């Protein structure tokens, strides 16, 4: 896209020489010899760069700069004047001028300043585009649903995002979209321009999780060779999403409770109190009342998390939303796999609408992704739909009748297989170690041992 430059200068010779240089570079140039004509030009279209003279026939360059900022907060402005004073320079910078050059200027020096300014313009343009993309991807409309429970959820999300509430608690079954809701809250709040960081509380050991959350000082433990900022510190001004907070180790629960009450913490091995402004969004699929009865979760922490609680309904309770989501995923994956319009057979709808979806939206997404990928002639049939293990062909190994191949067997393959199965179990359970252990018929300690052995922790 061609760079658009506005030259605001009452001397025709200077305008002409600047136009010649910029057009040699392929820029689109618009000229204005008065302040009002400059303001009119900025009303009619956006510019990448404005070269603005301070002394104009009708109004000052500072007046023009102020007017430009009312229209466009991001355009880069370079002031030009033969009447440079510290006061005018400071005032121009306060109003948002990128730089200030004094007449008569050397053309090469001015062009060097212009190049730096346009680098800033490009960066701002990229940031603007990224923000626009994030607002589209994580607007409330990114959550698909028309069921009354979802419409109530949308209203709650909008209300929470607008307010300054500092602690939000998301409850719901695995796969209901807690991560997406957390991101939507963040990107629709006044914290959207600041970091969003997330961590799954079951993905790391207790000591590593503490270091990730609060950071550590150099020498705090054996491998702490450098000081490290934690997620709370890095997210200052933004949002921290604590997924599976219900499975957080008891010792860390106490430290999290203190942080939620004071918004202050110490790095591991440190003595200095660090204060931050972050919104904390916790999430769990666990029955916390039961966990409290079993002594696995602090009651006072649950009360502190429950400032604002949002409960996400399971997919089986959302009626015809299954149809909406299916159509969305079919279109999405057809585009991703570069397939024309994909159609579902009528008996497929009977299966999808009659299924209980224990894995909720995540399970539906995976089922449709596989079906679109494997469908023939752009037609999804009942055979393309695999619902849970009970609906698919169960697999098992006949270990008792297994024989050693004549050529022998490479035991390294077993190690790779074990690593592969561990990764699959973690992926299927969204890194929930407790659920992954159940899936593999292991105790959590034995699972952690294997994860460490394969470098997955």
- Span 36-63, pLDDT tens digits: 999 998 888 888 888 888 888 998 888 8
- Assign 246 a pLDDT band (cuts: 50, 70, 90): very high
Q: What is the pLDDT of residue 399?
A: 61
Pure H helices in 55-106: 61-71, 86-94
Paired with 52 in beta bridges are: 8, 79
Average pLDDT for 383-389:
80
How confident is the prediction for the chain on average, in pLDDT? 86
Would you state the pLDDT for residue 338? 87
Kindly state the percentage of the chain with pLDDT values over 70: 92
Quote the DSSP letter at residue 54: S
Give the pTM.
0.65
pLDDT of residue 410: 75
Asked whether the predicted pLDDT for residue 392 surpasses 50, the reply is no
Q: What is the pLDDT of residue 395?
A: 46
- Token output for 370: 């596989």
Q: Has residue 138 got a pLDDT over 80? A: no
Residue 202: half-sphere exposure toward Cβ, Cα within 13 Å = 24
CA distance 76 to 53: 14
Find the mean pLDDT for residues 185-209: 90
What the block records as the tokens of 226 is 């450098």
Average pLDDT over residues 237-265: 94
> What DSSP state is assigned to residue 272?
-
What integer is the mean pLDDT of 219-233? 84
Q: Given this model, what pLDDT does residue 204 score?
A: 84
pLDDT at 3: 85
H-helix or E-strand containing 52? strand 49-53
CATH fold, domain 319-391, is: Helicase, Ruva Protein; domain 3 (1.10.8)
For residues 250-279, give the mean pLDDT: 93
Of 137-141, 170-174, 179-183, 317-321, the least confident: 137-141
* Architecture category of domain 4-134 in CATH: 3-Layer(aba) Sandwich (3.40)
Is 3.10.20.30 the CATH number for 141-311? no
Range with lowest mean pLDDT among 35-39, 175-179, 325-329: 35-39
Mean pLDDT of 59-76: 85
Other Cβ atoms closer than 10 A to 339? 14
According to DSSP, the residues that pair with 309 across neighbouring strands are 169
CA-to-CA separations, 161 to 26, 231, 409, in angstroms, rounded: 44, 21, 58
Burial readout 297-320 (b: 16 or more C-beta within 10 A, e: otherwise): bbeebbebbeebebebbbbeebbe
Half-sphere exposure for 292 (CA within 13 Å, toward CB): 9
């Amino acid at each position: 896209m061609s760079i658009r430059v506005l030259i605001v200068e009452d001397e025709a010779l200077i305008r002409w020489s600047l136009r010649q240089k910029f057009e040699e570079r392929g820029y689109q140039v618009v000229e204005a010899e008065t302040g009002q004509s400059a303001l009119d030009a900025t009303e009619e279209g956006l510019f990448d760069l404005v070269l603005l003279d301070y002394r104009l026939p009708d109004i000052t360059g500072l007046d023009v700069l102020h007017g430009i900022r009312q229209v466009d907060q991001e355009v880069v402005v370079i002031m030009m004047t033969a009447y440079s004073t510290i006061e005018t320079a400071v005032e121009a910078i306060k109003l948002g001028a990128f730089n200030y050059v004094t007449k008569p200027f050397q053309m090469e020096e001015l062009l060097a300043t212009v190049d730096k300014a346009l680098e800033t313009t490009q960066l701002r343009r990229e940031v603007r585009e990224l923000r626009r993309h994030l607002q589209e991807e994580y607007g409330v409309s990114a959550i698909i649903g028309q069921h009354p429970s979802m419409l109530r959820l949308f209203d709650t999300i909008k209300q929470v995002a607008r307010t300054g509430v500092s602690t939000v608690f998301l409850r719901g079954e695995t796969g209901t979209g807690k991560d997406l809701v957390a991101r939507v809250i963040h990107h629709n709040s006044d914290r959207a321009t600041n970091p969003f960081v997330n961590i799954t509380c079951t993905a790391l050991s207790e000591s590593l999780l503490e270091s990730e959350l609060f950071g550590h000082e150099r020498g705090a433990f054996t491998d702490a060779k450098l000081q490290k900022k934690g997620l709370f510190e890095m997210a200052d001004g933004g949002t921290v999403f604590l997924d599976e907070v219900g499975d957080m180790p008891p010792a860390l629960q106490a430290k999290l409770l203190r942080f939620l009450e004071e918004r202050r913490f110490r790095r591991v091995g440190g003595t200095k109190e660090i204060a931050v402004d972050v919104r904390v969004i916790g999430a769990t699929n666990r029955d916390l009342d039961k966990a409290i009865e079993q002594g696995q979760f602090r009651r006072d922490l649950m009360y502190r998390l429950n400032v604002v609680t949002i409960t996400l309904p399971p997919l089986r309770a959302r009626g015809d939303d299954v149809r909406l989501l299916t159509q969305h995923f079919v279109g999405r994956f057809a585009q991703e796999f570069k397939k024309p319009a994909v159609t579902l057979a009528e008996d497929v709808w009977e299966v999808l609408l009659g299924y209980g979806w224990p894995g909720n939206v995540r399970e539906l997404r995976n089922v449709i992704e596989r079906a679109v990928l494997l469908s023939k002639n752009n037609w999804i049939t009942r055979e393309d739909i695999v619902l849970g293990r009970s609906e698919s062909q169960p697999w098992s190994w006949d270990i008792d009748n297994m024989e050693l191949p004549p050529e022998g067997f490479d035991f390294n393959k077993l190690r790779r297989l074990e690593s592969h199965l561990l990764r699959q179990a973690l992926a299927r359970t969204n890194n929930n170690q407790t659920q992954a252990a159940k899936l593999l018929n292991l105790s959590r300690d034995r699972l952690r041992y294997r994860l460490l052995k394969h470098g997955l922790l």
